[in-house]
Structure 1
Amino acid sequence: MEEFLGKEYKMVSEENFEQYLVHIGLNYIKRKIAVNTRPIQCLTRNADGKYKFTVHSSMFTWDMIFEPGVVFYTEKPDGGQIESLITFEGNVMTHKQWDKKGLTSVHVLEFTRDEVVTVRCCI
């Protein structure tokens, strides 16, 4: 993942994004706003060796600080609390998350020189 650290990627599209928003219970108006927002995504590594994945737009900023392979807790931009596990394999970052209601989703982000392709799967 070293070659992708510190690069900013503008979201152009995400596969299954609206289905994911339905899965987590986001209402119609918030879903329409979310699918039409084009945030910037950036992966960095802090001095302590932990990673930070930031998603930001004019409407919100979401920072996740994590160690690959270690479960952590975070708050989503909509205010919901989730448990997460992020792993790396080559140029792929897999983010599994689950909430107190048992809703689980997997977000697979494939980093390339020019873009990040994100596919979401709801379980």
Structure 2
Amino acid sequence: MEKYLGKKYKLKTSDNFEEYLKFIEVGLLSRKLVMALSPESILTKNQDGSYSLTMTTPIRKVVITFKLDEEFNENRPDGIKVKSLMHVEGNLLVQTQIEDNGRKSKHIREFTDKSLIVTTTAEGWDGKCVRIYELVE
């Protein structure tokens, strides 16, 4: 994972993202706003050994700071508080989010030299969301 630190990726394609947002009950106006944005994503490592995953759009910057394999509280961009856990499997950063109602989502971020592919699934949803970010050089 170290070789991907500090690299900036910009969203290029998004498949089934709005359907996922509907499933996790994000409101119509928020969904439409999010769908109109092309965020940039960057993963950095902090001095204390934690990591920060930053997603930046023209209207908002969201930073998730975490330590691998340690559960943490996360405020999703839609305002919902979830329990999250991040771990690494090779070039994959795997995130599990659990809402207070027990609904569980999984976000698998696959880093490559040219792209970041984020695949999202959720228990109880038969869909799959794939968002592809390209390396900004």
Scaled by the length of structure 2, the TM-score of the pair is: 0.84
Shift of the 115–60 alpha-carbon distance from structure 1 to 2, 3 Å rule, reads same
Aligned to 1:10: 10
> Where in structure 1 are there 5+ consecutive unaligned residues?
none
Aligned to 1:82: 82
Counterpart check, 1:92 vs 2:89: no
Which deviates more from structure 2 when the two are superposed, residues 106-115 or residues 10-19?
10-19
Which deviates more from structure 2 when the two are superposed, residues 51-60 or residues 41-50?
51-60
CA distance in 1, matches of 2:13, 2:119: 10
Q: Secondary structure at the match of 1:109?
A: strand
1:122 positional shift = 1.2
Give matches, 1:34-113, under 5 Å: 34-113=34-113
Give the counterpart letter for 1:104 in structure 2: K
Q: Secondary structure at the match of 1:3?
A: helix
> Where in structure 2 are there 5+ consecutive unaligned residues?
124-137
Shift of the 107–16 alpha-carbon distance from structure 1 to 2, 3 Å rule, reads farther
Cα shift readout 1:12-53 (whole Å, capped 9, x = no counterpart): 123432222112111222212212210010100001111111
More strand by share: 2
1:104 positional shift = 1.1
Identity of counterpart residues, as a percentage? 33
Q: Secondary structure at the match of 1:18?
A: helix
* Ranges of 4+ aligned residues in structure 1 off by more than 4 Å: none
CA distance in 2, matches of 1:13, 1:95: 20
Instruction: Identify the structure with bigger relative contact order (alpha carbons < 8 Å, sequence gap 6+).
Output: 2
